[in-house]
Amino acid sequence: MSDEINLISEEDGVDVSKKIRKKDVNKDVKPAWYFGTGFLLFWALMFFAVVLPLFYRTPTALTIEDDNTGEFIGDRAYNTLNNLINIGPRTVGSKANEVEAVIFLINELAEIKKLLLHDYFTMEIDIQTASGALRYTHMLNMYQGVQNVVVKLSPKGSTSESYLLVNSHYDTVAKSPGAGDDGFMVATMLEVLRVMATTPQTFEHPIIFLFNGAEETAFQASHGFITQHKWAPNCKAVVNLDAAGSGGRDILFQSGPFHPWLVDYYKKHAKHPFATSLGEEIFQSGVIPSDTDFTAFVEHGKIPGLDIAQVINGYIYHTKYDRIDVIPRSSIQSTGDNVLSLVRALANATELHDTQAHEKGHAVFFDFLGLFFISYSEDTGIILNFCAAVVGLVLVFVSVWRMSSTSALPLNQVLVQLLVQLMVQLLALVLGLGLSILVAHVFDSFGLSLTYFSCLSLLIGLYVCPTLIGLSLPITIYYQSRRNSKLQFSYRLQLTLHIWAILLCLLGIAVTAYGLRSAYIITILNCFYAASLALNLLTTLHDRAYSWTGLVMVSQVAPFLYCTYRIYLVLVVLIPMTGRLGSALNPDLVIAVVTALGTIFACGFLIPLINMFRRPYLIIVSLLTVTVITVILASSTQIGFPYRPRASSERVSYQHVRKVFYEYDGTVSKDESGYLFSFQDRRAAEPMKIRMTNAKSIRSDCEKHMMCGVPLYDERWVGNRLESMWLPRERPIELLAKANLTLLSKTILESNTTARFEFQLEGPDHMSLFIQTYEDDFVTLSNWSFDRSYLENPPAYPLSYHIYFTYGTDRSPLNFSLDISKANGDFEVPLFQLGVSGHYVETKRDALSEEFAASFPAYAVLVDWPSSYDRYIF
């Protein structure tokens, strides 16, 4: 029964509950508690019945019989992809990448050229071989003889000197056939080129199709193209195509920068829109441990563009399971439709003539369930965000004034209740977020991280339900303890929603002022609640017990669908990444916070409504029951074990290392063999602890030796070095060859304070140099033959200089010099350490390593190779 029947007449102090009980008996009657549980299940059903099907929806692939229509033929692209991945893994420097993949592309292009409409187009093919260097994170990334297959498709009679660049890469990481990353996009580009070259639909600007052969080695080939190729200066915009997964819809996750017109073209021409500026801000913040060629084009070519990628099923990314059998034809059709329409449109864009004239601001953009696409300028977004916040605050004040007027209570008393509920709501938000974090912390403390890794449904009980409990518990307790309030209960329930609206309005203002375009999500929530509140006020449903809840619930359908759709995307991208973030980070905390925030935004206006049902605490008990059952399943059954063979494997990355330390006099002080592990996820060696019994952390070696005295492969190995482990091996690792460093000369320069050391390095297609002077003796590295900007801006201590070097087709030795300066001119003592690592990523394991690899469980996917490491002192 409503609190209204407990009101005390302010005029005579007489209990009037008996007078109004018969009159209002049906006015504030609460439905049974199980209807509240049904209320929550309805919204859960909305997610499973609407959001998930639309999230994974892709078009039916066109077959070869549908040709001659000027459309993208998914069936043909699929067959092209199958032929490409049959080559096998295509690592930079391997025969598969430098010879077989290039021949494959040339043959495909030759077939397209045979069908070229010569009356409409010209088609030029160029094979570029590039050498150069760029800084990437803490290392200098050098390359020699990497390849690009470049195609220029030009309309006959065009005088445009502005080109559109379309890029993907055909190389792969070691051991992976690369069907998704990035064979999928290579096949897409080939089919787009075929359609455009054989359809009499002309365009204004020439198009450069860049098939680059060295992206996995930190964008070497794209850097080589944009800084050295003859057509690069004319490229005015880029469409970059990449992957961090495979088999779903392609997402636009980066644009510009500062060129919102590009998003307008995507809006008008992408047939299957899937995009959000939230993803752009997350990616560009650096929290996602990944990058694409788009960065090389923007930073080194100063050209804007669109970065589009496959992101679904990131479990198989960079593994041996990145094969064509996980890619449906409908997926490649969806991407092909988008890319073909977008390339055709941009090839006619007037903005390409002078892109600098259109360099203004950012764009706010997002799709709604893939059904339609919305975009507007950042300036417009700022206006919308502030207006929505101000209107929302005004409507809340009008509602509070209306409550005061109809309840015959002074406005200040209603405002006091509003303030009290503000405190309660803040407590609820802290509790909602805190309970999820607590669950994540407890699971990690017991070594049970990543229980949701293979079963995303566990997130409901682990994090969604605790968040809902935290959001509902304080306000429910408050209502149950304040039954005799002078303000009728339905008004007090509205006040709770008003508090959430006020917090969202203030948050929207703050986030907008901070410069985040993702504030649009808050604006969506504000606008729909403000609309329902305005209608309730205008229709007087606002004052009719719970009648106002109908409009509120209807108004929350679209925001709920959008928030759950968007947060599901974030989780689908992030959760597979937690399997390769390294063991130092507790990923459960990240997933808990993301899930909790998504739940809060999606259900902030809904969860307080459980209090319009009788016994709302039983609804909370229902949520608690789901959480308890889920915790039991996640912690004590196979359901909570993170890994599944093939589908969601544990990544095990290690090297078979032979390391030798040479002292200043040339003697060998250490010659060891073993397996060096860089653990990819939080559970580290725990699932394979039996075979890791004798392994030890290299953390102490990192304190004693330059770069831990091991062949740290790239920036990720360096970043995770303190969590790496070394498993000794008694039998030495025998390498077919070895990186060979030769000191060619040592010359004292005229100043007598500088000595120049000249070296020659020969070895495999992937090598690294680590250089560190003995600074205690006031020794400095004053000059070298490498890029000087890296010398002048060295990595932060305790990292050494790291020169990462890759061969493509040109395998001539690397000659380099180092100038070592010392004030006293004494160069007959140890001056610096030089580490040389060689990585044989295509070399087969020896018998003992093969036996060791076979001991891993079926759910483990191994990425391993032999390496050498030699430490010299000069």
- 816 against 409, higher pLDDT: 816
DSSP class of 275:
B
Residue 290 pLDDT level (bands cut at 50, 70, 90): confident
Are 578 and 587 contacting, i.e. CB atoms less than 8 angstroms apart? yes
Is pLDDT at 240 greater than 80 in this prediction? yes
Nearest to 314 by CA among 328, 332, 326, 296: 326
CA–CA gap between residue 305 and residue 258 (Å, rounded): 10
Are 493 and 12 contacting, i.e. CB atoms less than 8 angstroms apart? no
Whether the bond into 645 is cis, omega within 30 of 0: no
CA-CA-CA-CA dihedral for 625, 630, 632, 636, to nearest 10: 170
At 528-559, the pLDDT tens digits run: 999 999 999 999 999 998 999 999 999 999 99
Mean pLDDT of all residues belonging to the chain: 93
Cα dihedral 385, 390, 393, 399 sign: negative
DSSP class of 173:
-
pLDDT value of residue 27 = 47
- Give the mean model confidence (pLDDT) for residues 207-215: 98
Nearest to 76 by CA among 89, 86, 58, 62: 62
Residue 21 pLDDT level (bands cut at 50, 70, 90): very low
At 55-85, the pLDDT tens digits run: 999 999 999 988 878 999 999 999 999 999 9
What are the backbone dihedrals phi and psi of residue 868, each rounded to the nearest 5 degrees, phi first? -115, 150
pLDDT value of residue 32 = 86
CA-CA-CA-CA dihedral for 158, 160, 163, 164, to nearest 10: -70
CA–CA gap between residue 295 and residue 374 (Å, rounded): 25
Are 719 and 726 contacting, i.e. CB atoms less than 8 angstroms apart? no
Residue 9 pLDDT level (bands cut at 50, 70, 90): very low
Cα dihedral 839, 789, 149, 166 sign: positive
Is pLDDT at 423 greater than 50 in this prediction? yes
pLDDT value of residue 688 = 72
Q: Which two tokens stand for residue 252?
A: 């636009």
Q: DSSP strand E in 213-345: where?
A: 235-243, 250-256, 305-310
At 165-189, the pLDDT tens digits run: 999 999 999 999 999 999 999 999 9
Are 395 and 533 contacting, i.e. CB atoms less than 8 angstroms apart? yes
What are the backbone dihedrals phi and psi of residue 63, each rounded to the nearest 5 degrees, phi first? -100, 170
**Sequence-separated (6 or more) residues with CB below 8 Å from residue 787:** 133, 135, 140
Cα dihedral 403, 409, 410, 412 sign: negative
C-alpha 605: how far from its chain's center? 29
Lowest model confidence (mean pLDDT) among 14-18, 268-272, 442-446: 14-18
**Sequence-separated (6 or more) residues with CB below 8 Å from residue 213:** 92, 97, 98, 101, 102, 146, 147, 148, 149, 169, 170, 171, 221, 808
pLDDT value of residue 68 = 76
Nearest to 574 by CA among 282, 182, 241, 176: 282
- Give the mean model confidence (pLDDT) for residues 130-144: 96
At 31-50, the pLDDT tens digits run: 888 888 899 999 999 999 99
Query: What is the CATH superfamily name and number for domain 64-369?
Result: Zn peptidases (3.40.630.10)
DSSP class of 32:
P
Task: Match 């997964």 to its residue by tokens.
Answer: 245
DSSP string, 557-583: HHHHHHHHHHHHHHHHHHHHHTTSS-S
Q: Which two tokens stand for residue 825?
A: 């001119």
CA–CA gap between residue 654 and residue 738 (Å, rounded): 18
Give the residues across from 661 on adjacent strands.
Answer: 670, 871
CA–CA gap between residue 530 and residue 388 (Å, rounded): 8
pLDDT value of residue 751 = 82
- 1 against 412, higher pLDDT: 412
CA–CA gap between residue 365 and residue 267 (Å, rounded): 9
Are 378 and 371 contacting, i.e. CB atoms less than 8 angstroms apart? no
Q: DSSP strand E in 233-333: where?
A: 235-243, 250-256, 305-310
Are 767 and 739 contacting, i.e. CB atoms less than 8 angstroms apart? yes
Instruction: Indicate the burial class of 231 (C-beta count within 10 angstroms; 0-12, 13-18, 19 or more).
Output: middle
What are the backbone dihedrals phi and psi of residue 615, each rounded to the nearest 5 degrees, phi first? 50, 60
3-state secondary structure of 856: coil
CA-CA-CA-CA dihedral for 671, 675, 677, 683, to nearest 10: -130
Is pLDDT at 286 greater than 90 in this prediction? no
Task: Match 């938000």 to its residue by tokens.
Answer: 429
Are 168 and 125 contacting, i.e. CB atoms less than 8 angstroms apart? no
* Alpha-carbon separation of residue 507 from 425, 475, 482, 522, 526 (angstroms): 14, 21, 29, 8, 11
CB atoms within 10 A of CB 485: 17
CB atoms within 10 A of CB 134: 21
Give the residues across from 675 on adjacent strands.
Answer: 656, 727
- Give the mean model confidence (pLDDT) for residues 157-166: 95
Residue 28 pLDDT level (bands cut at 50, 70, 90): low
pLDDT value of residue 737 = 83
- Residue extents of the structural domains in the chain: 31-54+379-640, 64-369, 650-873
CA–CA gap between residue 19 and residue 861 (Å, rounded): 75
Sheet holding 754-762, edge to edge: 740-748, 754-762, 814-822, 779-784
pLDDT value of residue 690 = 61
Lowest model confidence (mean pLDDT) among 90-104, 309-323, 673-687, 798-812: 673-687
- Give the mean model confidence (pLDDT) for residues 394-400: 96
Label residues 642-677 b or e (16+ Cβ within 10 Å = b): bbbebebbbbbbbbbbbbbbbeeeeeeeeebbbbbb
CA-CA-CA-CA dihedral for 155, 161, 162, 165, to nearest 10: 60
Against a cut of 0.85, is the pTM above it?
yes
Task: Match 């020439």 to its residue by tokens.
Answer: 206
Residues above pLDDT 90, as percent of the chain: 87
Cα dihedral 717, 719, 724, 728 sign: positive
Are 77 and 332 contacting, i.e. CB atoms less than 8 angstroms apart? yes
Q: Which two tokens stand for residue 694?
A: 């004798």
What are the backbone dihedrals phi and psi of residue 613, each rounded to the nearest 5 degrees, phi first? -100, 155
At 775-796, the pLDDT tens digits run: 777 899 999 999 999 999 999 9
Label residues 794-825 b or e (16+ Cβ within 10 Å = b): eeeeebbbbbbbbbbbeeeebebebbbbbeee
DSSP class of 360:
-
Give the residues across from 307 on adjacent strands.
Answer: 240, 254
CA–CA gap between residue 64 and residue 826 (Å, rounded): 75
DSSP class of 786:
S
Is pLDDT at 98 greater than 80 in this prediction? yes
pLDDT value of residue 26 = 38
Q: What angle do CA 158, 163, 165 make, to 5 degrees?
A: 140
Q: Which two tokens stand for residue 394?
A: 């005004």
Give the residues across from 124 on adjacent strands.
Answer: 152
DSSP string, 586-651: -HHHHHHHHHHHHHHHHHTTTGGGGGGSS-HHHHHHHHHHHHHHHHHHHHHSGGG---BTTTBPEE
pLDDT value of residue 249 = 96
Label residues 431-446 b or e (16+ Cβ within 10 Å = b): bbbbbbbebbeebbee
C-alpha 553: how far from its chain's center? 33
H or E element in which residue 482 lies: none
Nearest to 62 by CA among 412, 353, 330: 330
Is pLDDT at 6 greater than 60 in this prediction? no
Cα dihedral 129, 131, 132, 137 sign: positive
Is pLDDT at 524 greater than 60 in this prediction? yes
pLDDT value of residue 666 = 94
